[in-house]
Structure 1
Amino acid sequence: MSIPPETLQKLLQEIEQKAAFSQQQISIVKSQIAAKNRESRILQLTTSEVDALPDSTNVYEGVGKMFVLSPRKDVKKRLGAENEELKSDISALEKKLHYLETTYKNSQDGIQRLLRPGGS
């Protein structure tokens, strides 16, 4: 049972497009993960600096082009919430990356099967 060459060509082209799209998405997701990791590191450094301050210290937060006086406790709470959100985002991106890598690998395997002598 042989597959007609036109069908084989069309199938191969579809698999190649899917592999190329997956590879492109993989690089995008990796750069997003790197950016989120940088943001997380900045938050950790900021948190450690705020932790080093005495409890009664008020800190200033940038809001647009101005600074607003805020209690240290509120700033720590906001930084903690942002850090948890970043962890959640990174986890979701890592799951997406795993899916895309699996899709890419499956596409490559499909191409190899089609190009093997015998077509199976």
Structure 2
Amino acid sequence: MAIPNQKLQQLLEEIEQKAMFSQQQINIVKSQMAAKNRESRMVQLTATELSSLPKDTNVYEGCGKMFLWSPSDEVKKRLATENSELKADGENLGKKLHYLETTYKNSKDGIEKLLRAGQGGA
């Protein structure tokens, strides 16, 4: 049983749109992952520098256009929390990327199947 050309064309367009959307989302997620990795690296470097300072060293954090004194222990805790949140975000983005790549692959496979079915029916 052959698929009518009009129906085949409609299915093909829908699958192509889904594939294009998935590809766009893949690029967005990859750039978000790169940004999270950079942010995580900065937090790790800051934590490393903070650990190398003597315990009684004054630590200042930027707040807009000014700097505020913060106890180094609180800064270390904040950095640890921020780092764990960044890792969790990275894992979630990895899962989303895997899903989008699977969707994209399935869309490409669907297009190929439709084209083969259309050629077989012609």
TM-score, length-scaled by structure 2: 0.94
Task: For residue 43 of structure 1, report the CA deviation from its aligned partner.
Answer: 0.5
Q: Which amino acid aligns with 2:26?
A: I
The whole-number CA distance in structure 2 between the counterparts of 1:13 and 1:69 is 59
Tell me what 1:59 maps to. Answer: 59
Any residues of structure 2 matched to 1:77-88 within 5 Å, and which?
Answer: 77-88=77-88
Any residues of structure 2 matched to 1:1-120 within 5 Å, and which?
Answer: 1-116=1-116, 117-118=119-120
Structure 1: 5+ residue runs without aligned partners? none
Query: Residue 69 of structure 2: SS of its match in structure 1?
Result: strand
Task: For residue 2 of structure 1, report the CA deviation from its aligned partner.
Answer: 1.4
Task: For residue 92 of structure 1, report the CA deviation from its aligned partner.
Answer: 0.6
Structure 2: 5+ residue runs without aligned partners? none
CA offset digits 1:22-77 (Å, max 9, x no partner): 00110010000001000000111000000001112220011111111111101000
> Hey, which of these two has a bigger chunk of helix by percent?
2
Q: Which amino acid aligns with 2:35?
A: A
Aligned length: 119
Identity across the alignment (%): 70
Instruction: Name segments (4+ residues, structure 1) moved above 2 Å.
Output: none
Structure ranking higher on relative contact order (CA contacts 8 Å, 6+ apart): 2
